[in-house]
Amino acid sequence: MSPTNPEPVLKVEGLRKSFGDNEVLRSIDLSVAQGGVVALVGPSGSGKTTVLRSLNGLEIPDAGRITFDGGPVVNFGSGASKRELAALRDRSAMVFQHYNLFPHKTVLENVIEGPVQVQRRPKAEAIREAEELLGRVGLAEKKDQYPHELSGGQQQRVGIVRALALRPTLLLFDEPTSALDPELVGEVLSVIKELADEGWTMVLVTHELAFAREVATEVVFMDGGVVVEHGPPETVLRDPREERTRRFVHRLL
Ligand code: ADP
């Protein structure tokens, strides 16, 4: 294992998924290195979110395999077991487009829910860790407030803290800024950038190509349920090989 070419933390092979007649993923391969930041980009409906949700067991693919380094190997198609899916879910944490916070719980209660209820960690320890994480994103003062009392940007920062509190191997972001007013996008992107700089491994679905260019170690361009091309941002986003990528990138950058 060399620092320039570390073993992948996550490997996805031949992932397929249909919803009825709609073949949404047509054999997706993907690999994420330790500390890597993979940006999934592409037109709406190309299957990006379905890939992300599959990594977290929120969507069950029809075929293919997901392997976590030193952890679960889940083979779909032949019937992934409940235990395998639970192990898969344990490895990653998702930050959702619409935050998905519990409206009737305070910020702190939202953050400790997973660690205490799902992971069965001691409550006092979960609270201590939640308070520390909230402090890091500038929300220490908001811990006893309810989601509706916060701005969208603040709610999404809570969404990020909630994911971090699960101590995942992999962070998944599903268009984390697309529900935000433009003036609130920056505060969320800067938290994501800090996490990337700290070495968190992440997969990010985003329309923010300028941001992807800045933080991603690898950009994966999807269209029509396939990976059209992937590589470093300076290649895929500046000088793509494929015409389909070129058209998409030129429209957005
Ligand atoms: P993207 O994230 O690239 O916009 P998605 O993965 O969200 O693409 O969706 C890909 C396709 O799958 C779309 O045609 C969408 O309508 C369809 N799709 C996604 N989720 C479901 C679902 N739960 N049921 C039926 N169709 C779905």
Give yes or no for residue 85 having a pLDDT over 70.
Answer: yes
As a whole number of angstroms, the distance between CA 204 and CA 211 comes to 11
Cα–ligand 1 centroid distance for 32 (angstroms): 23
Asked if 139 contacts 107 with a C-beta cutoff of 8 angstroms, the reply is yes
Q: Is the pLDDT of residue 37 over 50?
A: yes
pLDDT of 69: 86
Atom of ligand 1 nearest to the CA of 225: 10
46 CA distance to ligand 1 centroid (A)? 8
Please tell me the residue having the least CA distance from ligand 1 atom 11. 45
- Determine the atom of ligand 1 nearest the C-alpha atom of 20: 25
Residue 159 pLDDT: 98
The residue whose CA has the least distance to atom 6 of ligand 1 is 47
Contact 124, 199 (CB under 8 A): no
State the closest ligand 1 atom to the C-alpha of 59, by its place in the atom list counted from 1. Answer: 23
From ligand 1's centre to the CA of 198, what distance in Å?
A: 32
State pLDDT tens for residues 164-216: 999 999 999 999 999 999 999 999 999 999 999 999 999 999 999 999 999 99
Task: Tell how far CA 201 is from the center of its chain.
Answer: 9
The predicted-structure confidence for 111-156, as pLDDT tens digits, reads as follows 999 999 999 999 999 999 999 999 999 999 999 999 999 999 999 9
Q: Which residues line ligand 1 (CB under 6 A)?
A: 19, 22, 24, 42, 44-50, 205
DSSP letter at 237 equals: T
Helices (H), the chain: 48-55, 82-91, 107-113, 123-136, 152-164, 182-197, 209-215, 233-236, 243-252
Average pLDDT over residues 39-51: 97
Q: What is the mean pLDDT of residues 29-52?
A: 97
Between the CA of residue 171 and those of 22, 181, 195, 218, what are the distances in Å? 28, 23, 10, 15
Gap between the Cα atoms of 96 and 115, Å rounded: 18
Q: Whose CA is nearest to atom 20 of ligand 1?
A: 50
pLDDT mean across residues, the chain: 94
pLDDT of 163 strictly over 90 = yes
Probe residue for ligand 1, chosen from 26, 41, 49 as the CB with the greatest number of ligand atoms within 8 Å: 49
